[in-house]
């Protein structure tokens, strides 16, 4: 452990001298096992390994944090919505722990300011914010246990952001909602995706969404997934009166 502690601390420059002061402000307490939190903000591009050659970065803590967030949210929903069946509770939890929401939480805490990386922060994708939030939660659990981790999630996620009525009306994936509706109504559907770069520097994809062999929406984005989701959202609003009962 001392070996890992020395490696991690030496990997951070003097400009990170306020790391634990900022972290204490976020957590509300002084960390017991400091190496966990340094690891939680160490990007894989640092290429740091322990004596056995295992990589040292936030990705394993991200795995733990993801599980803890799901666990705490599941228990909360179970208590708060006694009438909700398994399908309802699963949908509601998915809305709370959606990648978009976790990214927003990471941004609110400005966690990217603490990350140590050889890659310029401007080059990171949006998901870095949610990844760091999950890694931080994982570090909290391993450092302080379930109760402290639960309190952090109540303070930072549940109390300020989780409202049952609002969540019931929130759509996290228009594509999933549209497919569910089509399957229930026995409608055929297809996403015709093709590359459409044109004069853009970045590669773009266009998609035509057809339902019962009729094109109901078109969209264009920098990835197939984004283009399909954008087309699905447009189709949702075009067919909103028919689909709304599924939300």
Query: So which residues are the catalytic ones?
Result: 66, 134
The CA angle 105-106-111, to the nearest 5 degrees, is: 145
Cβ–Cβ < 8 Å for 12, 19? yes
Beta strands in the chain (DSSP E): 189-195, 205-211, 214-221
By CB neighbour count within 10 A (0-12 exposed, 13-18 middle, 19+ buried), where does 203 fall? exposed
Of the candidates 196, 164, 202, 197, the one whose C-alpha atom is nearest the C-alpha of residue 77 is 164
Cβ–Cβ < 8 Å for 58, 42? yes
Sign of the C-alpha dihedral computed for residues 138, 139, 144 and 149 taken in this order:
negative
Rg of the chain, C-alpha, whole Å: 22
By CB neighbour count within 10 A (0-12 exposed, 13-18 middle, 19+ buried), where does 29 fall? middle
């Amino acid at each position: 452990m001392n070996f890992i502690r020395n490696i991690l601390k030496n990997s951070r420059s003097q400009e990170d001298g306020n790391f634990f002061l900022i972290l204490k402000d976020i957590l509300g307490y002084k960390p017991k096992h400091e190496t966990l939190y340094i690891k939680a903000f160490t990007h894989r591009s640092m290429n740091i390994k322990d004596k056995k050659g295992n990589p040292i970065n936030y990705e394993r803590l991200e795995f733990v944090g993801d599980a803890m967030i799901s666990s705490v949210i599941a228990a909360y929903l179970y208590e708060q919505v006694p009438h909700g069946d398994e399908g309802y509770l699963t949908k509601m939890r998915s809305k709370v722990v959606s990648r978009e929401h976790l990214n927003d939480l990471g941004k609110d805490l400005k966690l990217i300011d603490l990350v140590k990386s050889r890659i310029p922060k401007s080059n990171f994708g949006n998901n870095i914010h949610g990844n760091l939030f999950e890694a931080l939660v994982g570090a909290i659990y391993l450092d302080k246990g379930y109760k402290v981790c639960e309190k952090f999630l109540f303070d930072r996620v549940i109390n300020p952001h989780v409202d049952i009525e609002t969540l019931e009306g929130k759509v996290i994936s228009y594509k999933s909602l549209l497919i569910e509706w089509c399957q229930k109504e026995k409608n055929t559907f297809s996403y015709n995706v093709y590359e459409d770069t044109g004069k853009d520097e970045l590669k773009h994809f266009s998609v035509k969404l057809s339902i019962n062999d009729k094109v109901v929406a078109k969209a264009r984005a920098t990835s197939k997934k984004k283009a399909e989701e954008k087309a699905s959202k447009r189709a949702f609003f075009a067919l909103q009166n028919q689909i709304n009962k599924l939300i």
